[in-house]
Amino acid sequence: MEKPKLHIFNSMSKQKELFQPIAEGKVGMYVCGVTPYDFSHIGHARAYVAFDVLHRYLKYLGYEVKYVRNFTDIDDKIIKRANERGEDPLSLSSRFSEEFLHDMAELNCLPPTHEPRVSDHLEHIKDLISQIMENGHAYTIEGDVYFGVDTFCEYYCLSGRKSDDNRAGGGGRVTVDTRKHNPADFALWKAAKPGEPSWESPWGPGRPGWHIECSAMSAYYLGNCFDIHGGGKDLIFPHHENEIAQSRAAYPQSNVKYWMHNGFVNRDNQKMSKSDNNFFTIRDIISIYHPLALRYFLMRTHYRSDVNYSDRALDTASDRIFYIYQTLHDSDIALSPFRDESFKGQVPADVKELIEKYHTEYLSSMSDDLHTTTVLDDLADLLKSINGTLKKFKGKKQQQGLILTLRALEQEVKDVLDALGLLSSSNFNEVLQQLKEKALKRAGFTETEVEQRIEERNIARKNKEYEKSDKVREELYVKGIALMDEPKGTIWRPCEPPEVQPEISSELQSDKPIS
C-alpha cells in the first residue's frame, strides 16, 4: 500500500503544507528542550509526546531522522534555584536533566539523535555572537551584548506581531535594561554578576542569553538550513522570533522550512506553568496513573490544540489502555499454542477488508497533520473484532480461519500502537498488573482488602443478603474497581469511576435474581 504524502501545519505560513524535506529521504528536526531546575511538568510531557509522535511517524514513513533536543543548563532560573539550595548550578541542572530523561523513558519517548547542553557549546555560541556583531546587528554595553531588533527588517515574521505589541525585555526571563537602544532588544551575552557562573568571552566574563543557544546548537547539528523546528506555542514569541533574527543576522541564508508548535495543557482554563504554580509534575501523575495512560490522554487531543487536564480524562485514558492490553493479552493466550505453526489459508475477506480500511484511514489521519485522536478512536473497531473472534474461539478445537483472523488483527493493532509509542516493552500481563496497582493506589485499597470485600460479597450473596452484596460492589465501583463474575469465581479489574453515585437499576445490575 502506497503511503500518503504528509501534510503539516507551518506556523510561519499559518497553513497546512505538503512536507518536502530539503534532502530527499532525510529529515533534520530541532525541538526546544527543558530548562532543568526542577522536575518536569505535564506541559513538558505534552510537548515531547507530540514531537515523539512526529519523530516516530517520520521514521514509519521511511525517513532517516536526525532529531535534536537541547537542555538549557545555564539560565537565570537554574542559578536562582541553585543559590537557594547552596548547590553548583551545573550540578543542579545536570541532576534534573537526568530526571527529565527518566520521565521521557517512562512516557515511551524515543531518545533524540543528539541532546546537547548549552554548557558544552559555549564556543559555538560565542562564535555566532561574534558573527552577528560583525554583520552590524548587535552592540555591547559594559560587557553585555544586545541584539538590535531595528537592524533586522524581518523581525516579527513568525509571530505576526507589531512593534508596539512587543514586550520590553524580549520575554519574561529578563528585566528591562534602560541602557538598550530599543526596549525590545534582547541579550545575546550577559556580563558576569556576583554569585553567578561565568565564562571568558571577547566582551568580558559572562554567560549566554536565553535565545542564542538554540540558534547555535541547531546550526551545529543540523546546519543553517533544516526541515523542522518545534516547541510549545508559547515559544513563538519571543524565543523563536529571536532565533530567526539571530540566525539570519549571522548567516542570511539560514532557514527553517517548517515551524511546528504544540498547544498548552490547561487547568481551570489557565495554562499550566511553573511560574504560576498551578502545575502537576510528570512524577505526580505517573505515581497514580500508568505512564501509557498519560501518553494516551495527551494524544487524545490534536497536538496543536490545548489539552484540558482533569482526573476524569485520565481515568478514561487509563480505562482505554487497560481494555487495549486486556484484549491483546487474551488474544496472546488464545494464540500461544499456535505461534510456531504456519497456515496456508487466507485471512477471511471481511476481516481483510476491515484491516485495510483501518490502515488506510490510519495513514490518512496521521498524514493530515498527525490526527492521533481519530486513529485512537478508530482502533475500537479492531479491538471489538478481536474480542468477537475470541468468543467464537473459546471451547473449540483448532480453527484455521479464527487463528488467521486473530493473528492479522493482533498484528495490525500492535503495529499501530508501536508507531504511536503506546506499545510497552513489558509483556501484556505485566502492563495489566501495573495498571491494577495504580488503580488500587487511586482507590486507597490494597489487593488484600479488595479480595476481602469480594469474599464479603460472596458470603452475602450465598445468604441471599442482596442489598449488602450490591452495596459492596457499588462501593468498589465508585472507587474505580469493577467486579466481574466469572465461571471460576469473581475477579476485579480497574474501571472508569462514575461521575455521580450509580443507581443499581441503571449502572449496575443487582445481585438479586429477577423473579
First to last CA, the chain: 57
The pLDDT assigned to 500 comes to 61
CA–CA distance, 493 with 484 (Å, rounded to integer): 8
CA–CA distance, 249 with 297 (Å, rounded to integer): 41
**What structural domains does the chain harbor?**
20-287 (3.40.50.620), 309-428 (1.10.730), 444-494 (no CATH)
Question: For 293-311, what is each residue's pLDDT tens digit?
Answer: 999 999 999 999 999 999 9
The pLDDT assigned to 267 comes to 84
Angle between helix axes 241-250 and 122-134 (nearest 10 degrees) is 70
Question: For 243-252, what is each residue's pLDDT tens digit?
Answer: 999 999 999 9
Average pLDDT value for residue range 276-286: 88
> Which burial class, exposed, middle or buried, applies to 50 when counting CB atoms under 10 A from its CB (0-12, 13-18, 19+)?
buried
- Put residue 62 in one of left, alpha, beta given phi > 0 → left and psi -120 to 50 → alpha: left
Res 229 pLDDT > 50:
yes
Decide which of 170 and 56 is more confident: 56
The pLDDT assigned to 466 comes to 95
Which of 257, 314, 306 is CA-nearest to residue 282? Answer: 314
Residue 398 binned pLDDT confidence (cut-offs 50, 70, 90)? low
Summary mean pLDDT of the chain: 93
Question: For 9-25, what is each residue's pLDDT tens digit?
Answer: 999 999 999 999 999 99
CA–CA distance, 186 with 180 (Å, rounded to integer): 9
User: In whole angstroms, what separates CA 246 from the centre of its chain?
Assistant: 29
The pLDDT assigned to 396 comes to 66
Average pLDDT value for residue range 389-405: 84
Top-ranked range on mean pLDDT: pick from 56-70, 156-170, 273-287: 56-70
- How many Cβ atoms sit within 10 Å of the Cβ of residue 360? 12
CA–CA distance, 131 with 455 (Å, rounded to integer): 76
Helices (H), 264-339: 282-286, 291-299, 311-335
Residue found under cell 485520565: 314
Which of 375, 152, 104 is CA-nearest to residue 251? Answer: 152
Res 329 pLDDT > 70:
yes
The pLDDT assigned to 505 comes to 42
Question: For 460-510, what is each residue's pLDDT tens digit?
Answer: 999 999 999 999 999 999 999 999 999 999 999 999 999 765 555 456 777
Average pLDDT value for residue range 405-430: 97
Name the least confident of 77-86, 372-381, 385-394: 385-394
Instruction: Take residue 27 and report the three cell numbers written for it.
Output: 529529515
CA–CA distance, 271 with 278 (Å, rounded to integer): 8
State what percent of residues in the chain have pLDDT above 70.
94
Res 145 pLDDT > 90:
yes
Name the least confident of 110-114, 133-137, 345-349, 458-462: 345-349
Kindly report the backbone phi and psi dihedral angles of residue 187, in degrees, each rounded to the nearest multiple of 5, phi listed first: -75, 130
Res 170 pLDDT > 50:
no
Decide which of 441 and 178 is more confident: 441
CA–CA distance, 28 with 409 (Å, rounded to integer): 34
Residue type, 355: I
Question: For 53-82, what is each residue's pLDDT tens digit?
Answer: 999 999 999 999 999 999 999 999 999 999
Name the least confident of 233-242, 291-300, 363-372, 388-397: 388-397
CA–CA distance, 55 with 326 (Å, rounded to integer): 28
